[in-house]
Amino acid sequence: MVMFNQTISRINGVGLGLKRELIPQIQAVFGDNSIANLNFVEIAPENWIDIGGKAAKQLDWFAERYPIACHGLCLSLGGLAPLDINFLHQVKQFLQQYNIPLYTEHLSYSTDGYKGQQGYLYDLLPIPFTEEAVHYVAKRIRQTQDILGQRIAIENASFYVQAPISSMDELSFLNAVLTEADCLLHLDINNIYVNSVNFGFDAHEFLRGIPGERIVYAHMAGHYQQAPDLLIDTHGADVIDPVWALLEEAYQLFGAFPTCLERDNNIPLLPLLMREVNKIADYQRHVK
């Protein structure tokens, strides 16, 4: 696999999560006006590190033409087991190889740490909102940044059960971690809305408490309404109007930061996805 040294590494505008079924569709219309608003792609490094064959050639193709952002799945910043140092060194090499400027992870945990071992739970679970957890997670973020040699961004996660030992609200916890770790923010607009419904707070008030200077880029996605007071963050549906309203306010508050459309389930054909990509681009162009 070749080492890239292109000058297109910085992400701007609107991105799209790069799912395998979208790859040939994007390649087929590359350079066409129908995807003119597609400015970057997002990948999970776990799905691409040390990959070979056809998939490696596809990633090479994208790295030559689009800036790439890496959004991780398994680092488990809030987990009990030690950070996977070997994995982080793989990530560092991968970022350098493809000239990828951003590595982000969820403010959550996905391992159980049983007897010091790393057992994966295949879900993103909420960290208790306590001062002890702030110090613990911030230390692990700083360790990650030291190994990678760059700041990372953490994403505000969706969750469905709050730990009974929590002593602060989600926004206070998020801001405390950002400050102590001195890291960046990967802002998920849909997660704010999902949590606001599930836990009964004002999503717009939450947004106004975000430190805008730390935002590197954002996610937009759809969700599933299981009950009037229970939303599930599926990334499997179109973005709904209240989430679009939050994005519009975020741009008015903080400027038109890069924004990526997530679609992980029930993925439609590219022309339908581009409708939402184009809508994000329209919101960005109309920021005062």
71, pLDDT greater than 70: yes
pLDDT band of residue 80 (cuts 50, 70, 90) is: confident
- List, for residues 3-40, the tens digit of each pLDDT value: 333 444 589 999 999 999 999 999 999 999 999 999 99
What's the Cα-to-Cα distance from 243 to each of 7, 26, 91, 207, 214, rounded to whole Å? 33, 26, 32, 12, 21
Q: What is the pLDDT of residue 109?
A: 67
State yes or no: pLDDT of 209 exceeds 70: yes
Q: For residues 226 and 258, which has the higher predicted lDDT (pLDDT)?
A: 258
| Per-residue model confidence (pLDDT) at position 7 | 40
pLDDT score of 94 more than 80: yes
Ranges 110-124, 134-148, 249-263: which has the least confidence = 110-124
Residue 71 and residue 7: Cα distance in Å, rounded? 21
Q: What is the mean pLDDT of the chain?
A: 91
- Whether residue 220 is predicted with pLDDT greater than 70 in this model: the reply is yes
Give the pTM: 0.91
Under the banding of pLDDT at 50, 70 and 90, the label for residue 232 is: confident
The pLDDT confidence band at residue 234, using thresholds 50, 70 and 90, is confident
Position with higher pLDDT, 227 vs 56: 56
For residue range 155-187, what is the model confidence (pLDDT) as tens digits?
999 988 888 889 999 999 999 999 999 999 999
Domains and CATH numbers, the chain: 14-285 (3.20.20.150)
Q: Is the pLDDT of residue 121 over 50?
A: no
Task: Say what the pLDDT of residue 238 is.
Answer: 95
Question: pLDDT higher for 211 or 224?
Answer: 211
User: Which pLDDT belongs to residue 183?
Assistant: 97
